[in-house]
A and B are shown apart, each in its own frame.
Chain A
Amino acid sequence: MNGYTGKILRVNLTSGKTSVIPTQKYEQWGGGHGMGSAIFWDLAKEKAISGFDPRNVVTIMTSPLSGTLVPGASSRTEVQGIGPHTSPIEWFTRSNFGGRFSPMLKYAGWDGIVIEGRADKPVWLDIRNQDVNINDAGELWGMDTWQTQEEIWRRVVGSRKSEGWTVLGSEEDGPRTTQMPAVLTIGPAGENLSRIACLIHDAGHASGQGGFGGVWGSKNLKAISVIGTGSVNIANPGALIQACLWAQKKYGLDLDHPDESWYSWHGPRMPQFVLWERRKDARLKACIGCHLGCREISKSGLGNESVCVPTTFYRDADKERHKGRQTEAVYIASDLLQKYGINAYEAFKGLYYIKALNEMGVLGPGKQIDCDLDFSQFGETGFVEKFLKMTACREGRGDDFAEGFYRAAKQWGRLEQDLKTGLLEYPYWGLPEHGCDPRTQVEWGYGTILGDRDISEHDFSSLSLWVSKMKQKGFTVPFPAEQAVKLFTEKMTPFEGDMQMLDYSTDNIYSEHIAKLVAWHRYYTRFWKQSLLFCEMRWPDFINSKSPDLRGLTGEGEPKFFNAVTGKNFSFSDGIRLGRKIWNLDNVIWAVQGRHRDMVSFADYIYTKPFEGNRTFPEYYAPGLKNGKWDYILLNGRHLDKTEFEKFKTRYYKLEGWDIHTGRPLKKTLESLGLAHIADTFIPPLPRDC
C-alpha cells in the first residue's frame, strides 16, 4: 500500500492483549477522522455512554500523508472517542495535534491505534516498530507530561546507543534511529479525571478539546510511546517532489526575502503563531514535514512549542499587573498548562470568569463561593501556579474547575443567570467561546452547534479575523470584499458560484446560502483536514498574493499531493463527497447518542445580547452585501434571532437530506451515500423521508 502501512494496532487494556486490524478494511474512509469514525461505529457497542466509561473506544489515527514530504500535512494525528467535556451529552468528538507522533507511528509500521477497555492499574504503551508492550506505569503516574516523556525516553533509548544511534532490538546490526520516541501522555489533570484534561506530545502539542486526558485517566492509560525505523511507501516519488517544488515556487513565502505586502494562509509573512511578545533569541519551530513552522523554541527554554491560546492565556493579566510590561509569568503559565495537561481555552475563559465573580464579591476566600485564591495577586506567577495546580489536582475549589467552568457554574447555581447575561461566555454544548463569536462569524457558531465541539477551523478567518485585525491597525485591506468572496466561493464545490455563501449581513445569515457555507465547511474539514490531516494552520489557501490572480493552491494542491503519495486518482470534489459521507456517519453516531434538533440551540445571551466586541477584536468585520454592494461590514451590535435560527436549521436539514423534525439523517440519504448498512442498524429506525 502506498501512503499506508497496512496495519492498525488494536489494544484492549482490560485483557492486556493487542491485535491487528488490516487498514484495507477502512481504506475507503481515507485516513484520520473518517477511519476513526468508522472504527468507532464498528467497535463501540455502546455509544450513548460517558467518556469515562470503559466501553468508550478511543482511536488515534494517522493519514496516508503522515510522515511524508507533503507540506503542512505530514504531522497531525487525529484522536476520537466519546469526550466528557460537552454538556448535556458527552458527544463522540475529535481533537488533533501536531509534532512528530503520527510520522513516528507510520515509521513503526502502524496507521493508527485503537484503545478499548480499562487497565486495572496504570500502564503505558511501548511501541518499538512491530514490538508492542503494555508496561506498568506506577512510577510514571503523578509525573507531569514533560517529566513523563523524558523518563520514557530514558527507558526506551537508555544505553542502546551505538555510534550515536539508538539500536532497537537485541542485535547490534538491528534497526536504528537518531530520533527520540514520540510520546503522547497525560499529566496530573488527566490522572484526576478532569473533563478539561488534554493529551500532550513533546513540549507544546496538545489534543486539547474533548477531555481525552480524562478519558485516558479513566482507562489508567498514562502514555503511548512510539519509535520506528521503517518506511512509508510513496506511489510516485517524482510527482511528490515536483508538487513540493511547485507549491514552494508558485505559492510559498521566501523567508529570506519576504515581501512586505505578502499574505497567504499557506504561509503568513509572520509565521509564528505566538501571541505574547516576540523573542529575538529563538528558533522558528516546525512540525515534521511542514514548510513553514508556527512555533518557537526559546533561549530561556520557557514557552517552547506553545502557540495560540496558551500564549495569550495569562498575557493580559501579566501586562495589566506589571503596567504594560510582559514578564516570564506568561511563559510559565503556558508551560504549566502543558505540563499539567489542561485545556487552554477552558483555563483562559474560566480564569476571567472567576475573576469577574471575585470582582462581584461572589467568589474568593470566605465568599459565597469559597475559593482559596488571592485575587490581589492576579497577574503574578504565584497566582496562576496555584490556579492551575488546584485545577489539575482537584484541590479545594479546583475540584469544580476540573469539571469545566460550565459545570462549575451549574454547581454554584449560577449557570442560567450567567448564560443569560453572557458573563459566562459558553455559547454551545457547555464549551467556551473561541473568539469568533456565533453572532458574527456565523459559520463557526453554526458549525459548532450542529456538530460536537468548538470547530476551531479558521478556513474563512482571513475574510473576517485578518480583515478585522487590519482595520484595527489602520491598514488598507489588500483584497476587496467582492474579489475575495469570489476567490473562495468559486472553489466551494458543489455549491461553487454562490457568492452569498459568504454574505455575513444580517439579512442573509439564516438563508440557504449560509446553509451551503456550513455544509461545505463540514465536508471540506471532515475529509481534507481531519481525515487526510492537512494542517489547520497552513490549509486551505484560497487567497495568495504570490499568484498574479491571487488564487491560492487549494483545490489543486490537496489532490495533487494525495495522489502523488497514494497513486490514486482522486479529485478535490471526490474529497468533498467523502467528507459529506463522514459527516453523515458522525451525525448517525450523535443520533444514537440522543441528538435531536430541539437541543441544537445556543446559550440565551447569543439571542439577546448584542455583540459588542471582545478582548481581541473591539470591532469585528466580515464580507457582506450592503445596499447591493460587497464590502467588509461591521458586525458589532447584533445578536442572533432564535426564531430565524430555527428556520435556518430547517433549511440546513433539508439541504443535508435530513429529517427536519429531528435533525437526524434520513435513511434514503444514508443509502445514497453508501451507508445503508448503518441506516439498517439504527434503533429506532430512521425515517426514510422527511
Chain B
Amino acid sequence: MSKLSEKRSATIPASEGYLVVDTKKCQGCMTCMLVCTLVHEGKENLTLSGIQVIQNPFEKFPNDLTVEQCRQCAMPRCVEACPTGAIHADSQNGNVRRINAEECTGCMACVEACPFPTSRILWDSEKEQARKCDLCADTPYWHEKGGPGGRQACVELCPVNAIKFTRKMPIKDTDADKGYKVNLRGSGWRNLGYSDQ
C-alpha cells in the first residue's frame, strides 16, 4: 500500500450503513437489481446494478445463488486506489462510499482494487465511468431520502424481504461473508414449507 493510500485508509471513517442479505431466502427475481438501476439511471440495466444476484439453475440449493452487495468496507480499497478521490466516504451521507461521477476519469483502478471475486464496482462502458452502490444516497428517479439515514430501494422492493439495512458494521474483517450474509427467515418462511435455518 502506498503512503498516500495508508494515509487515506487511516482517515476514512466507517460507513453508518450496510446491506445484509439472506441468500437462502432470495428467490432470484433480481427485483433488487432492476430497481437499483431504475432509481439511479432511470432505466433497467443489470450491468449497472449496485447489487448483483448470480445464479445457476442447474446447481444444488443453497449453492445455486449468491447475492453480492457492496460491503461499505471499513478499509475501502476502492477509495484507496482511486487516483482522483472520485470514490470517497461521503460525510454528508453517513460516510457511504460513493463515486462522484464528475471526478471519475474511468481509469478502472477501483474495479481492479475491489477485493471480492466479483468486483462490487460496476463499469459503465458507454460513459466509461465506474459506478457503485451508494445506499441510495443519490437517486434522481426516486424521491425518497436515501443514504444511511434514509431508505434503500432494494430493501423496499424486495418481494421476499431478503435484504435488510443495518447501521451496525457486520464485521471488521472484510474478506469473509460472515455478517453480510444473514438469516432473515422466520416462522412465515416455515409456513411455506421451507427450513428457516
Give the interface of A toward B (CB within 8 A): 67-69, 71, 74, 107, 146, 149-150, 163-165, 172-180, 202-204, 229-234, 237-238, 240-241, 244-245, 248, 252, 254-258, 270-272, 278-293, 297-301, 304-305
CA distance A301 to B126 in the complex (A): 39
- Whole-angstrom distance between the Cβ of A397 and the nearest chain B Cβ: 31
A300 close to B60 (CB less than 8 A): yes
Give the contact-size bracket for chain B: 35 or more
- Whole-angstrom distance between the Cβ of A327 and the nearest chain B Cβ: 18
4-35 of chain B: CB within 8 A of chain A: 24, 26-31, 34-35
Given the known interface contacts A283-B64, A297-B61, A298-B60, the answer about A255 and B125 at a Cβ–Cβ threshold of 8 Å is no
B27 close to A284 (CB less than 8 A): yes
Q: Which residues does chain A contribute within 8 Å of B64, judged by CB atoms?
A: 283, 297, 304
A286 close to B188 (CB less than 8 A): no
A173 close to B125 (CB less than 8 A): yes
Give the interface of B toward A (CB within 8 A): 24, 26-31, 34-35, 37-39, 41-48, 52, 54, 56-62, 64-65, 68, 106, 108, 111-112, 114, 116-119, 121, 123, 125-126, 128, 141-143, 153, 156-157, 159-161, 186, 188-189, 191-195
A270 close to B192 (CB less than 8 A): yes
Task: Using CB atoms, name the residue of chain A closest to B160.
Answer: A255
A232 close to B119 (CB less than 8 A): no
B58 close to A237 (CB less than 8 A): no
CA distance A283 to B37 in the complex (A): 25
Q: Which residues does chain B contribute within 8 Å of A204, judged by CB atoms?
A: 57
Contacting A280 at CB < 8 Å: which of B27, B119, B153, B193?
B193
Q: Which residues does chain B contribute within 8 Å of A176, judged by CB atoms?
A: 47, 123, 125
Task: Using CB atoms, name the residue of chain B closest to A565.
Answer: B44
A281 close to B195 (CB less than 8 A): yes
Contacting A255 at CB < 8 Å: which of B28, B111, B188?
B188
B43 close to A231 (CB less than 8 A): yes
B194 close to A282 (CB less than 8 A): yes
- Whole-angstrom distance between the Cβ of A492 and the nearest chain B Cβ: 29
Task: Using CB atoms, name the residue of chain A closest to B42.
Answer: A237
Which 6 residue pairs spanning A and B have beta carbons closest together? A164-B118, A163-B119, A286-B29, A301-B60, A256-B188, A203-B57
CA distance A387 to B15 in the complex (A): 60
B29 close to A293 (CB less than 8 A): yes
CA distance A180 to B54 in the complex (A): 8
A69 close to B31 (CB less than 8 A): yes
- Whole-angstrom distance between the Cβ of B77 and the nearest chain A Cβ: 12
B34 close to A68 (CB less than 8 A): yes
Q: Which residues does chain A contribute within 8 Å of B159, judged by CB atoms?
A: 71, 248, 252, 255, 286, 290-292
Task: Using CB atoms, name the residue of chain B closest to A171.
Answer: B125
A283 close to B28 (CB less than 8 A): yes
Between A and B, 10 residue pairs with Cβ closer than 8 Å are A163-B121, A173-B128, A175-B125, A180-B56, A229-B125, A254-B188, A283-B64, A286-B29, A299-B60, A305-B57
Q: Which residues does chain B contribute within 8 Å of A165, judged by CB atoms?
A: 118-119, 123
Max count, chain A CB within 10 A of own CB: residue among B35, B48, B57, B65:
B57
A237 close to B141 (CB less than 8 A): yes
A234 close to B46 (CB less than 8 A): no
A297 close to B29 (CB less than 8 A): no
Q: Which residues does chain B contribute within 8 Å of A234, judged by CB atoms?
A: 38, 42-44
B44 close to A202 (CB less than 8 A): no
CA distance A232 to B34 in the complex (A): 10
Q: Which residues does chain B contribute within 8 Å of A245, judged by CB atoms?
A: 156-157
B192 close to A272 (CB less than 8 A): yes
A244 close to B157 (CB less than 8 A): yes
Task: Using CB atoms, name the residue of chain A closest to B143.
Answer: A238
B194 close to A304 (CB less than 8 A): no
A107 close to B45 (CB less than 8 A): yes
Q: Which residues does chain B contribute within 8 Å of A288, judged by CB atoms?
A: 29-30, 34
Q: Which residues does chain A contribute within 8 Å of B111, judged by CB atoms?
A: 163
Task: Using CB atoms, name the residue of chain A closest to B140.
Answer: A237
Q: Which residues does chain B contribute within 8 Å of A233, judged by CB atoms?
A: 42-43
- Whole-angstrom distance between the Cβ of A98 and the nearest chain B Cβ: 11
Contacting B108 at CB < 8 Å: which of A71, A173, A257, A305?
A173
Q: Which residues does chain A contribute within 8 Å of B153, judged by CB atoms?
A: 241
B62 close to A232 (CB less than 8 A): no
A164 close to B157 (CB less than 8 A): no
Q: Which residues does chain B contribute within 8 Å of A257, judged by CB atoms?
A: 188
- Whole-angstrom distance between the Cβ of B85 and the nearest chain A Cβ: 21
A255 close to B161 (CB less than 8 A): yes
- Whole-angstrom distance between the Cβ of B60 and the nearest chain A Cβ: 4
CA distance A278 to B194 in the complex (A): 9
Q: Which residues does chain A contribute within 8 Å of B41, judged by CB atoms?
A: 231
- Whole-angstrom distance between the Cβ of B24 and the nearest chain A Cβ: 7
Task: Using CB atoms, name the residue of chain B closest to A153.
Answer: B56
Q: Which residues does chain B contribute within 8 Å of A229, judged by CB atoms?
A: 45-47, 125
Given the known interface contacts A163-B111, A234-B44, A257-B188, the answer about A69 and B35 at a Cβ–Cβ threshold of 8 Å is yes
Given the known interface contacts A289-B30, A299-B60, the answer about A178 and B54 at a Cβ–Cβ threshold of 8 Å is yes
Given the known interface contacts A164-B116, A164-B119, A285-B28, the answer about A177 and B60 at a Cβ–Cβ threshold of 8 Å is no
A304 close to B58 (CB less than 8 A): yes
A69 close to B44 (CB less than 8 A): yes
CA distance A178 to B38 in the complex (A): 18
Contacting B45 at CB < 8 Å: which of A230, A254, A282, A299?
A230
B27 close to A285 (CB less than 8 A): yes
B57 close to A256 (CB less than 8 A): no
B44 close to A284 (CB less than 8 A): no
- Whole-angstrom distance between the Cβ of A233 and the nearest chain B Cβ: 5
Contacting A256 at CB < 8 Å: which of B60, B112, B156, B161?
B161
Task: Using CB atoms, name the residue of chain A closest to B185.
Answer: A256
Q: Which residues does chain A contribute within 8 Å of B43, judged by CB atoms?
A: 231-234, 237
